[in-house]
Amino acid sequence: MADDWKEKIIQEKLGGKRDWTDSERAELCRQLDQDLDKHLDTVSQSKFEDGWTEENWRDKMAEHPLFAPYVQEDGSAVAEAPINPLSEGLAQLKFDPEHNTPTEVAMSYKEEGILQFKYKKYRLAVANFSEGLKQVCPDRELNAQLLNNRAAAQWHLENNRSAIRDCELAVKLKPDYTKAIMRAVDCAVRMKSWDEVITWCDRGLRLEPGSDKLKKTRITAMKEKKIAERNERKKLQEEKKKEFEEKNLINIIEGRGVKLGSAEVKGSASVTLADLEPCHPAAQGSRVHINEDGELVWPVMLLYPEYHETDLIQEFTESNCFEDHLNVMFGEGTPAAPWDTERKYLPQNMVLYFEDQEKSKLYEVDPKKTLQQVLAHPKYRVLGGTPGFIVLTRGSKFAKEFLSKYEC
């Protein structure tokens, strides 16, 4: 009886004939296919009455008590609304530990977390997977899945270390959990923690010896590890070289009889390059150094208190005399400084001084002396990595007033 409809169709198509050839059978199949295609075309072109469409789906949802809280009264947009009693009741039934076993509650949180994950709400996914783990259900498989899922969400949040920690816990619960192992590999690669990459790849290859991804990743990690180790060795060598150069520089400075820093700082062990780093903004990047001839080259500051101006000689070689630089800066044929409107600051009129540590005495500098000779003076100390000298004009009213404040 179940096949009577087939017989009727056959009879209709073949005019009551019961015996047919292969060609007739093929023709029957072709006609039936054509009839089915016509029927489907008719159905696809027609609309169901009262069906959900792109235009009315919000209205249809609003009619349902479960979805009503998420639709505005005008049905125009999704919005927060007071919790629907039915929705609240379903949520309680789903997550309430009084109505469900720990395993059921954990499974519900897992499903909710997966839903949030699909919508790329990774923080909410992490929260749901964490709640599922808090149930401490006896199902090791479920707990491993929750950990692996949380690791996946953490990966998207770029919390790589947290993701690896979850993968480690997942593999403890399920030693053959290749998904967790592969995720840990990806996190370790992102962190460029090549030792961890190799360890995780080895764990994965013990389970899947033929995995091309793990093999290629391990080879890459080995290469990157060698490069990182080489770069680290190079960095250490550069640091040692720099440390040696710094110590050598300080030893040379102190060997010249130059005193650095405040009077309380004594001994080369207390002096560092921080004492040589220029403090004045104009001198930044002009720290004392040794040239090819083994001479010290200093940044030197000239101060003109009469006009509250300064000049920086970025490279003053210790064997050079002061008068050499003054002739270049203020000598004949050189334009006057913008602030020297009276053209008073000429090499023959200029007198240089330096203050002692207590700033109570001034010592006159012989311009024919070299910088090294002046810096080696028993009362001179280099402060802020930049030797500084006061410049006045001989016999001027300002010079007399300025010098009266000091013991010269």
Span 219-256, pLDDT tens digits: 999 999 999 999 999 999 998 988 888 888 888 888 88
Distance CA 106, CA 132 (A): 4
pLDDT at 5: 61
Give the class (CATH, top level) of 268-403: alpha beta
| Digit-coded pLDDT (tens) for 350-395 | 999 998 877 778 999 999 999 999 999 988 988 888 899 999 999 8
| Digit-coded pLDDT (tens) for 122-164 | 999 999 999 999 998 899 999 999 999 999 999 999 999 999 9
| Digit-coded pLDDT (tens) for 268-288 | 445 666 667 676 676 666 788
Distance CA 174, CA 141 (A): 7
Q: Give CATH 3.10.20.90 domain extents, the chain.
A: 268-403
Q: Give CATH 1.25.40.10 domain extents, the chain.
A: 62-223
pLDDT at 83: 53
Burial 9-48 (b: 16+ CB within 10 A, else e): eeeeeeeeeeeeeeeeeeeeeeeeeeeeeeeeeeeeeeee
Distance of CA 209 to CAs 88, 140, 213, 214, 303, Å? Answer: 50, 25, 11, 9, 76
More confident residue, 78 or 45: 45
User: Tokens at residue 100, please?
Assistant: 């469900």
pTM comes to 0.51
At 320, the pLDDT band (50, 70, 90 cuts) reads very high
pLDDT at 174: 95
Torsion of CA 199, 200, 205, 211, to 10 degrees: -130
Chain mean position to CA 209: 35
Please, which residues have CB within 8 angstroms of residue 9's CB and are 6 or more apart in sequence? 32
CB neighbourhood size of 88 (10 A): 12
Kindly report the average pLDDT of the chain as a whole number: 82
Distance CA 197, CA 214 (A): 9
Specify the CATH number of the domain 62-223: 1.25.40.10
| Digit-coded pLDDT (tens) for 176-215 | 999 999 999 999 999 999 999 999 999 999 999 999 999 9
Residues in the chain: 408
At 168, the pLDDT band (50, 70, 90 cuts) reads very high
Distance CA 201, CA 217 (A): 7
pLDDT at 265: 43
Residues 187/217, Cβ–Cβ less than 8 Å: no
Residues 354/259, Cβ–Cβ less than 8 Å: no
User: Tokens at residue 376, please?
Assistant: 């080696």
Rounded average pLDDT over 67-80: 46
Which of 30-39, 52-61, 396-405 is the most confident on average? 396-405
pLDDT at 243: 84
Report the candidate in 369, 287, 397, 294 with the shortest Cα–Cα distance to residue 389: 369
SS3 content of the chain, % helix, strand, coil (to 5): 55, 10, 35
pLDDT at 50: 59
End-to-end CA distance of the chain: 131
